[in-house]
A and B are shown apart, each in its own frame.
Chain A
Amino acid sequence: MQRYLVAPRDWIASLGDIAKFAARDFGEVFGLRVFRFFGEALRQAGVLILGSTMVIWSLAFILGLQCGIEGAYFNRSVGAPAYAGVFSAWCDLREIMPYAFGYMMSAKVGTGLVAEIGAMRITDEIDALEVMGISSMTFLCATRLLASFMVLPFMYLAAVGAGFFASYLAVVQQIGEVSSGGFFLIFWMFQNPPDLLYSLIKGMAMATVIVIVGTYYGYTAGGGPVGVGTATAKSMVLNTVMVHLVGMLGTQIFWGANPRAPIGG
């Protein structure tokens, strides 16, 4: 019996460690100590913009096209082609964009953080920072968290915009069973500014979790290159789980009790 409890006990211990790490990381950011290294935070923001923006926007655009096409054909099949905008409004904003953002952040940014910081750990670069009198936690982890807070909201909103634009192209220009005005009438009827805010909160919650998990596994990596590889894989698994957990909780909290749509009077 004992041996069956080993794995769950390790998971709980890891989650506790991650929670403590996250609290420390937030403390460094909201305690404003991270601003001692604002230059590094800006550099990390630049790395995020240059390294991840186009990938995330491209993915958002492609998924927006798919949402538009599926929505247009489904609505035509039930005799309501004018309502294709519902799909674009809901599918893009509420679910697909947060998940796409979460997946891409996990795959590109999260694993990148583990690999980069983990490599620094095993080559003594983190110890070198510490013995220079620089808090490695602040310099490496808090700056990256701050950079993600500075960059990702805008990147996310632009990704939503890319998805909306792609859906418009698919529904109005490609399939063409609804006019531009008809599409936008329904499209805007089924969403309002709070929905965009909720969607942003979902996306940013996922991004924050991913950055925390990535920096945690990188910062605590050990055991040479193999250890860094293992840490990268573990972070990817945990991030994938967390993306779905945050997505489910977000939907339940923001739209679970009230669909926030003109349905049923």
Chain B
Amino acid sequence: MSADERRDDQATPPSGYSVPEESDQPDTEQEDAPNPWDLQKQEAETEPGERTTAVTFEPEREGEEEDDEFKWHTGKATRDESAESDAVEFIDVKKAFGRNTVLNGLNLGIPEGQISMILGPSGTGKSVCIKHMVGLLYPDEGDVLVHGESVPNMRDDDLFEMRKKFGVLFQDGALFGSMNLYDNVAFPLRQHTDKGEDEVNEIVSRRLKEVGLGGAGEKMPNELSGGMRKRAGFARALVLDPEIVLFDEPDSGLDPVRTALLCELIKEIHEENGGAYVVITHDIMSARRVAEYIAILWKGRIVESGPASELFNSDNQFVRQFLSGEARGPLGME
């Protein structure tokens, strides 16, 4: 089954779950049954001057609770013609922690050669996605493929080998506290290659310089600011020239200027090195700056995914609300 076929399969609901036939574009195509949010908006518009209360939940309709829960999830996945095959694919992935279902039939492809962003409200399973890609978590159901190989079915040795394809930037850099910056960045090279110290030194110095930490090699992680730790983590993630680089909320805890600089850095290094970059964030400004491909995750499923330009012009009200950062819309505080 090809990746495209699998994405098409998203339209096929998992057992026990049904999607109305006409629900592909709930906000534009359901003329007979306009969605409640549209009704609220109309009411608000037709009674100017009157005090209205914004209500973001939808009225319950008997037997349709589950349909309503995923009514914005069109599963639409479009691609640029230039897009290559998928580097990572999620196929009907379900993951629960106790009673809390985090991924609920996730279908997603991460295109090769592009900077992809997985966006979504807090607590929707974005970081859980990353952990599935590198085999730190396994799905309860479904499959995760990296370059066509099933991660959950790999033996430990193959898994460790596969992970060498990845570079991961964790939220706080995850630098080893017992090593200085230089040794942190050199660590993967010393463990996985037979390079001599001169060559290691050349690579580490180049990577540190790229992220603007050329003179900080002797510093310990606790002597660095949050932004420096992230950049150092970025240098370490890149040091083995990985084919796939994952960024777990690279903008968290950074001021807007440093976030912008980090985004520029991600773009520059991607242009230089290529590969599939996956950025997890809920920061829309970062998405506008660097994303070539966007997938919006909510309630454990992809609402919509596609080229950034398309997503920013989406008709889907959830997508529009999220990407414009509006308070009013389908997404509430629940």
A residues near B (Cβ < 8 Å) are 119-120, 123-125, 127-128, 130-135
Contacts and interface: CB of A to CB of B under 8 A. Distances in A.
Contact of A131 (B156, B166, B191): B166
A134 B168 contact: no
Given A130-B163, A131-B163, A132-B187, A123 B168 contact: no
Contacts of B171: 124
Interface of B: 131, 134, 136, 156, 160-164, 166, 168, 170-172, 174-177, 187-188, 191-192
- Leading 8 A-B pairs by shortest Cβ distance: A124-B174, A128-B174, A133-B163, A133-B164, A124-B170, A133-B160, A131-B168, A131-B134
A140 to B, nearest CB: 11
Contact of A125 (B134, B160, B174): B174
Contact of A134 (B160, B172, B174, B175): B160
A123 B177 contact: yes
B161 A133 contact: yes
B150 to A, nearest CB: 18
20 contacts: A119-B177, A123-B177, A124-B170, A124-B172, A124-B174, A127-B131, A127-B168, A128-B168, A128-B170, A128-B174, A128-B176, A130-B134, A130-B136, A130-B163, A131-B168, A132-B187, A133-B162, A133-B164, A134-B160, A134-B191
Contacts of B170: 124, 127-128
Nearest to B161: A133
Contacts of B166: 131
Contacts of A133: 160-164, 191-192
A212 to B, nearest CB: 21
Nearest to B156: A135
A249 B174 CA distance: 43
A249 B176 CA distance: 40
B136 A127 contact: yes
B177 A135 contact: no
A119 B160 CA distance: 23
Nearest to B169: A128
Given A132-B163, A133-B161, A127 B174 contact: yes
Nearest to B168: A131
Nearest to A137: B156
Contacts of A125: 174-177
A123 B172 contact: yes
A153 B156 CA distance: 33
B20 to A, nearest CB: 41
A123 B161 CA distance: 24
Contacts of B191: 132-134
B134 A120 contact: no
